[in-house]
Structure 1
C-alpha cells in the first residue's frame, strides 16, 4: 500500500453491516421521510435514528423489524421504557407488518420457530433475563434513558447485545453535548471502538474524571463522523419533504419563583452560621433546598391547577417527599401517582389510563415516565414542582406533551425558590447548547442527506496539502508530514549527524486536524504501520555509526480498553525498540527519567490513595519516561567507530566532564522559563531543595522520608498537585533530577497558548546533543513540536532539521527559534534574580 492509500484508510466513517434492498420492498404506508430513514438504516445494519418527537420512530422500528426478520428468519427484539408497549401494538396494527407484537419478561417466552416482534422493558434486559442469541436484530427505543442507569449497568446492557448483527438505536433527544452517551451508542452499534473515539476527538479534563471536551479543531470531523451512522431530524423538511402536519404549537414557559424565607439560624455546608443561604451550584445545597421548600412549592402548584380546573395536568417531581406532599395537598382531586413502589404492570396501566384521559392529574418522576410516553392527546399543561441539574430528564419530560400532533398551545410551569436560581440558569444554558448543537447536526443532514459516501469524499480534504518551510540561522524547519519530508526526493542519504525526537506515544493524542497525524491511528499496531513509512528513511538519512535518541513512555490502558475491571500498562517502549530494530537500528542504551507520581495520578486517576487503601493488589506504580538510544551501524565493521566519529578535545573535554557524561545521572541547574507559580511556592522550593541536598548526601532511610512527608502534611504543606519530596537517585540509569517545567511548554502556558502534549525537557535535549554531536553538525527532529530540539541545537552551535505537522506549533516554534537567533531571550528565573540583586 502506498502512503496516500494508507492515509485515506484512516478516514473515520461507519462501515456498512447491512444489505442493499430495493425501496419497493418497504411498506407503502411509510411517509417519505420514514421510507428514507428505514432504507438507510437497513443498508447500514447498525444505525441510530435521532428523530424528533412525533416523527414516527415507533413505525420506523416496526418496519425495520419486519425487514430484518425477512433477512435473518429470526425474531426481532425491541427494548423500551414502561407504558410504550401499547403504542407499538397500535402502530403495528396500522402498519400491518404481518407479525405479532409480544411482550416478554424472559427468553423462555420466545418461540424459536416463529418470526415475531418481541418487546420488553429495560428493567428486564439489565437483569440478564433475555438471551440475545435468539434474535436476528435488536432496537433500543428511547435509548437515552440508559443514562439513568448506573455506569456499570449501562455498559453491561450495551455489551450484552453485541452478539446480534443488526442493531439499532432510536431516541428523540440524544444530548449532543453529552459525549459519553453518543460514544456509548457508537460502541454498542460497533461503528467505532470507544477508546479510539476518545483519543481521536476528545481531550480529558485532568481536574474532573469522565469529563470530556471536544477538541475545537475536531468538531466538524466529529459531527460528520456521527452523521455516517446517525440521522438527526427535527421535521420532514430536513430531508427535503413537506412539513404539513408537523408544525409544533406555541409553547409558553412560565418561570415562577417562590419565596423560601426562614427565621431560623442559617448554616452553610461546613456548619458555619451565615446571613444568607449558599446559592452556589453545590449538589448538597441543591438537595437541602429542595427538601426545605417542598410544601411551599406544592402549594404553588395547587394554586396553578385551581386556576385552570378544567384542564388535565402532569406534575413532575423528584423526591418521594414531594410525592407525599402532592398526594396530601391534592386530596380530593382526580389524581393518580405513578411511583417506584408499584409493579411495572401497575405503572404501565396508570400511564396508559392518563394518556387516554381516564383521570385528570398525573403525578410522577421524569425518570419513571419522562421517556417514551405520548401524552399530547390527553394533556397540554405540566408543572415541574421541583428542578434539578438533569437536563435530559427535564427536556424529555417536556416533550411528553410538546410534540407533533399536539393541537393546543403548551404551558410549562417551572417552580423554584430564590435559592435555586443557579439551577434554573444551568438548565437554560444546557437547553440553549442543546438547540445549538442539534442545529449543527440538522444542517449536516440538509447538506449531505443520508449519503455517507459524500461525507467520506468531503473528509478526504483533511489530508495535509499545504507544506511550508523556513530557515532560521542554521536551522531549517518544515510544516509538513514528516513521512513526506523524509522521502528520498526531499532528504538526501547520510545527511544528519543525529536524530533526536519525542515520537508520538501511539494513539495517545492527535496533534493536528488531518489524517497525516501519527496520533490518528487505531491502536499501536496501526501507529507503527504508519511509522513503517518513516523509520527506514530515518535510518537512510542518518550518517553511519551515529545515534538516534528517541523519547518514549509506556501507555496506560484503562479497564474499558483492556476488557478487565482494572488498569494495565502497555509496553509501548518495548514495542518502539522492536520497531526500530526491525528497520535496522541497533539498541545501545536506555535512560530512565522518573516522573511525579502525584501529578500523574491527578491526570489519570489510577494511583489513588483511597483505592490503594481499599485493595493494593490492583495498584501499579508511576510511569517513568525513557530515552532509547539507537545506533546506525558504521559502513565498515572492522571496528566500532562511526564513519564520522564524534570527537572531543581532551583540553576542552576533560576527565571531570567525561565522568559526569558517562554517568547517566546528570543534574539540572534549575534555570528555566519563569512560571506564574514560582513566587507563590518559594517556601516549598526551599524545602524541596534542602531535601534534595540532604537526600543526596545521606544514606536513604525510608522511615525518615515518610516521617518528613507526614510532618509536612500536618502543616498542610504536602502538595496534592505534585510529589513534594520525591526520591532522588544516584543510579547511572535513572535520572530523577530532570526539571519537568524546563520546556518550551512553560512559555506556551505563560502566553496562554496551547501546550504540546508530550514535551521533551530542554535539560535532556542539551545533554544528548552535547554528548552525541559536535559543533556545526546537523540534528534531525522528525517530530519537531515547538522546535525544542532545533532551539537547543542553535544555542549549542549546531544546525538542525525539524519537521512539524501542526501549523500552530510550527508558528510558535518559529518564534522561539528567532528569539535564539537574534538573542531576544525570554526572561528566565536567574535573570530576574540577578535584576533583583
Structure 2
C-alpha cells in the first residue's frame, strides 16, 4: 500500500502526547505529612501527563495532591505555579499545603519576582500574567461548566500557553457530559466543538442537547480515562478504603402546604415562571419550618442554604444567632464570617451554595438545612459535601424544606443525581488499567479504518 496514504490515515488519529516528567514513587512529596499511597499514585501519573484532570470525591485529598503536584512542577521547571481557588478556599490551601511541606503564598495580584507556588481567588485571576507561570491548577474546576461564560473563555484562552495544567474537582459533570469538553479544552486535549462533532449527536429535534453516539460510547470513556482519573473511593484504584468509609447521611424531607393552583389539589409548577411564583407563595412557610428545625438543636452548629436574598433576609431574622453572607459582601466580610463559623464564634451560617458551597472543609458541622431546592444538582451535592466528607466523624443530618408545588424540581435533581452516578461508574470502569500507563497518549481515532484489501489506483492516476 502507498506509504504516503498510510501516513495520511495515521494523521486522522487525534493525539495529545504527555508533556510531563517522571519521578520515582518514593520521591513524591516534600516532607511533613505523607500522602496516602493512592494519592501518591495519582500525583505521579498527573506529573507524567503534564496536563491532566483529577476528579476525586470530596475529602479524598485533592488539596494535598494539587499542592504536591504544583510543588514538583515549580521545582522541576524552576518557574512559579499558580493555583486558582474559590473564595475562602485559598487560605485553607495555604494551611493545608504547609502540613505536607509545601510553601504556598496567598496573593491577590502579580508578585514582583514570582517564585514557587501561589494561590489566589478566581475573582483575582485577571491580575496575573499567564506567561510568567510554568503551571496552573484549577481548584474546583467545575467553574468551567458554563461554556459561554466569560470566566471560562478567559481561563482557556489566556492560560493555554501554560505547559503544565491540572484540573481538580469532585463533580466534573454531574448532569451534563458536555462539561467534560470544557475540561478537555482547558487542558489542551481536544476542543469542545471537535469533541461534539466526533462523538456526539443532537438529541432528537432539540439541537441544543447532545448525546453520545452509540458506537462512540466506549471510545469516549477510554479517551477520557487517558487524561482524567475519577476516584470515588481508594478501592477504585485498587487501594484499601481504610479511613475513607463515611458515617451515615440522613436526609429529611419536609413539605410545607401550598395554595398554588386553582383546583382543590396542589398543582405542580413546571415552567420557570410558575416555579418562581410557587417559591414566592411558600417563602414564609419554608423559612418558618427551617427556623423550627434549627431551634430543636441549639447546641449544634448549623449550615443554612438558601438561593435568594429574600430567603436570606427572612432566615437571618427568624434565627436569632445567625450570621449571613451574600454575594455583595466584601471578600474580607465573607472570610470573617466563614472563619467565625470554623472557630465556633458563629453558630449558624446562612448563605448560598454559589458563595460557600465549593471546596470548604466544614467537617466540624453535622447539621444543615436547605430552605428550598433549585435545579442545580451540582450545587446541592457540593453543599452537602461541605460537611459530609471524608474526615467527618459524626452522622450528618440534612434537612430539605420544600413545597408540594415544587415537586418538579425535586424530580429534576433526582434525575441529575442518577446521571452523575452512571457517569462516574462508566469513568471508573474504563479507567481500570489506564492509570498503569503513566505516560499514555490521549488518543482517539476520528474514523475506524481496518483495510482488508490492498488499494488499487486507476491507471490514469498512476
Give 1:315's match in structure 2, choosing from 289, 304, 315: 304
Q: CA offset at residue 447 of structure 1?
A: 4.0
Compared CA separation, residues 130 and 381, structure 1 to 2 (3 A): same
Q: Distance in 1 between matches of 2:390 and 2:90?
A: 20
Matched, 1:298 2:298: no
Matched, 1:37 2:5: no
Partner of residue 57, structure 2? 52
Q: Distance in 2 between matches of 1:280 and 1:354?
A: 36
DSSP 3-state at the match of 1:439: helix
Map 1:213-612; keep pairs closer than 5 Å: 213-261=211-259, 279-330=268-319, 332=320, 334-376=321-363, 378-451=364-437, 463=448, 487-488=455-456, 537=457, 539-540=458-459
Q: CA offset at residue 443 of structure 1?
A: 2.0
DSSP 3-state at the match of 1:211: strand
Map Cα deviations across residues 755-796 of structure 1 (whole Å, 9 max, x no partner).
xxxxxxxxxxxxxxxxxxxxxxxxxxxxxxxxxxxxxxxxxx
Q: Distance in 2 between matches of 1:158 and 1:353?
A: 35
Partner of residue 178, structure 2? 180
Q: Distance in 1 between matches of 2:404 and 2:168?
A: 38
TM-score (norm 2): 0.91
Partner of residue 102, structure 1? 105
Q: CA offset at residue 487 of structure 1?
A: 2.0
Matched, 1:117 2:117: yes
Q: CA offset at residue 453 of structure 1?
A: 6.9
Q: Does the 8 Å CA contact 1:388/1:423 hold for their aligned counterparts?
A: yes
DSSP 3-state at the match of 2:400: strand
DSSP 3-state at the match of 1:449: helix
Map Cα deviations across residues 576-619 of structure 1 (whole Å, 9 max, x no partner).
xxxxxxx69xxxxxxxxxxxxxxxxxxxxxxxxxxxxxxxxxxx
- What is the number of residues matched between the two proteins? 456
Q: Does the 8 Å CA contact 1:49/1:230 hold for their aligned counterparts?
A: yes
Q: CA offset at residue 23 of structure 1?
A: 2.6
Structure number with greater Rg is: 1
Compared CA separation, residues 416 and 149, structure 1 to 2 (3 A): farther
Q: Distance in 2 between matches of 1:276 and 1:290?
A: 17
Q: CA offset at residue 2 of structure 1?
A: 6.1
DSSP 3-state at the match of 2:127: coil
Q: Does the 8 Å CA contact 2:48/2:439 hold for their aligned counterparts?
A: no
Q: Does the 8 Å CA contact 1:384/1:413 hold for their aligned counterparts?
A: yes
DSSP 3-state at the match of 2:387: coil
DSSP 3-state at the match of 1:169: strand
Greater Cα shift, 27-36 or 41-50: 27-36
Partner of residue 159, structure 1? 157
Q: CA offset at residue 134 of structure 1?
A: 1.6
Q: Distance in 2 between matches of 1:281 and 1:381?
A: 30
Q: CA offset at residue 38 of structure 1?
A: 0.9
Q: CA offset at residue 51 of structure 1?
A: 0.8
Map Cα deviations across residues 683-721 of structure 1 (whole Å, 9 max, x no partner).
xxxxxxxxxxxxxxxxxxxxxxxxxxxxxxxxxxxxxxx
Indicate the structure whose relative CO is greater, using CA pairs within 8 Å and at least 6 residues apart.
2
Extract unaligned runs of 5+ from structure 1: 267-272, 466-480, 489-536, 545-582, 585-837
Q: Does the 8 Å CA contact 1:383/1:415 hold for their aligned counterparts?
A: yes
Give 1:195's match in structure 2, choosing from 171, 193, 196: 193
Give me the CA root mean square deviation. Answer: 2.5
Q: CA offset at residue 448 of structure 1?
A: 3.3
